[in-house]
Amino acid sequence: MMNILMSDSSHLDSKYFIDTHVYNCPFCNRGNVAYDILSKQGFHWTQEKECYIYRAKCSSCKNISMHLSYESLELHQTNALMGSNELYAFYDDEVKDDLDSKFFYSVPTSFFALDKSIPAVLRSLVVEAQGCLKSNYLTGASVCVRKIIYELAIKQNATGDNYDERIKSLKSVRPDIEPEYFDTLLTIQKITSDKVHEDSYDGWENKHLRLLLSSLTEILSLIYVIPNVLVKKRQEILKLKEEILGKPAKPTKPAKLAEPVKREKPAEPAKPAKPAEPAKRAEPAKREKPAKPEKNTEQKTTVAKSVSLDDLVRVSEVKFRQPK
């Protein structure tokens, strides 16, 4: 069986104008939607240079965008109804190559072309770089590219003091991304500058910047957009599966096993009672000392006094009996 190769036109999703009849609307975010040119007006950008304003209206949401170009592109009227506003379109022959490249600035910008999954600071830098590139402001575009790499390195926890080191660190941090993307960023730096110090670098040429921005845009998509797309696709498939096959019955929860009875710890053996201490022998009663008899001081005194008087009487009698 022969394999049929399908052409890939996904690059058109990043454009503003796809061709002279359809574009990607920045307001309703619809791709490949019809538009009309409402007007064209010229003014002097400088004393020698003219610029032209084109106003485009989305056929879906009816909002109007503005686009600037240095080229005077021819228009032809598409409606011929009386009393209706004149509507125009670009001639196919004049812009058959790439209509989007004819405009260097648009309001709203092509910010819508970058998925919202990409951090806002990175999206704004990419849009600014693209605007500088369309206006051929190469130094400004070069600064934006370096700033993108710097901010991306911070968000991916990559390190490095200069452009080359940050790219190499990003390559090691994200091994899931094809290394050729990072190698392209390194190769452009080597073939366009022989200056060692990053601050002295003059900038890249237009062709180099286009390659760098394309590589960076793809890296941002692989990091931030594709994973979200895969998640959404999986959710859609699961939802479709439920619609066709019905929701799977919720598995019954297995009965909880009875918890094993916790064995009580055996009671600790009672500690042997301490032997009773022998009763202390009663101390022998202390014999009380007999009370000392009270001294009869008065009797002694009386006796003493009586003895003394008797003696005195006898002595006196003896003295009186003695012969003189």
pLDDT digits (tens, 9 = 90+) for 35-45: 999 999 999 99
Residue 201 has pLDDT above 80, yes or no: no
Average pLDDT over the chain, rounded to whole? 79
Query: SS3 of 323, please?
Result: coil
pLDDT of residue 304: 46
The CATH architecture annotation of domain 116-245 reads: Up-down Bundle (1.20)
Contacts of 269 by beta carbon, 8 Å cutoff, 6+ apart = none
Q: pTM for this one?
A: 0.56
What local confidence, expressed as pLDDT, does residue 125 receive?
92
Residue length of the chain:
324
User: How many other CB atoms sit within 10 Å of the CB of residue 94?
Assistant: 14
Rounded-to-integer distance, Cα 91 and Cα 71, Å: 14
Query: How far apart are the C-alpha atoms of 300 and 302, rounded to whole Å?
Result: 5
The whole-angstrom separation of Cα 198 and Cα 146 is 10
Cis peptide bond prior to 108, omega within 30° of 0: yes
What are the sequence ranges of the domains in the chain? 14-113, 116-245
**Whole-number Å distance between alpha carbons of 111 and 130:** 10
* pLDDT exceeds 80 at position 158: yes
Q: What pLDDT sits at residue 51?
A: 94
Q: Could you tell me the pLDDT band of residue 301, with boundaries at 50, 70 and 90?
A: very low
**Model confidence band, residue 155 (pLDDT cutoffs 50, 70, 90):** very high
- State the Cα–Cα distance between residues 292 and 63, nearest whole angstrom: 139
Classify strands 64-69 and 75-77 as parallel, antiparallel or unpaired: unpaired
Tell me: pLDDT of 151 over 90: yes
Q: State the residue for tokens 């949401």.
A: 61
**pLDDT at residue 107, as a whole number:** 85
Q: Is 184 left (phi over 0), alpha (psi -120 to 50) or beta?
A: alpha
**Rounded (10°) angle between helices 138-155 and 163-173:** 40
Q: Is the dihedral of CA 297, 301, 303, 307 positive or negative?
A: positive
Instruction: State yes or no: pLDDT of 73 exceeds 80.
Output: yes
Q: Is 234 exposed, middle or buried (0-12, 13-18, 19+ CB in 10 A)?
A: exposed
Measured between alpha carbons, how far is 258 from 216 in angstroms, rounded to an integer? 60
- Three-class SS state of 74: coil
Q: Report, as an integer, the average pLDDT of 191-203.
A: 49
Take residue 120 and report the two structure tokens written for it: 């806002």
Look at residue 190 and tell me whether its pLDDT is greater than 50: yes
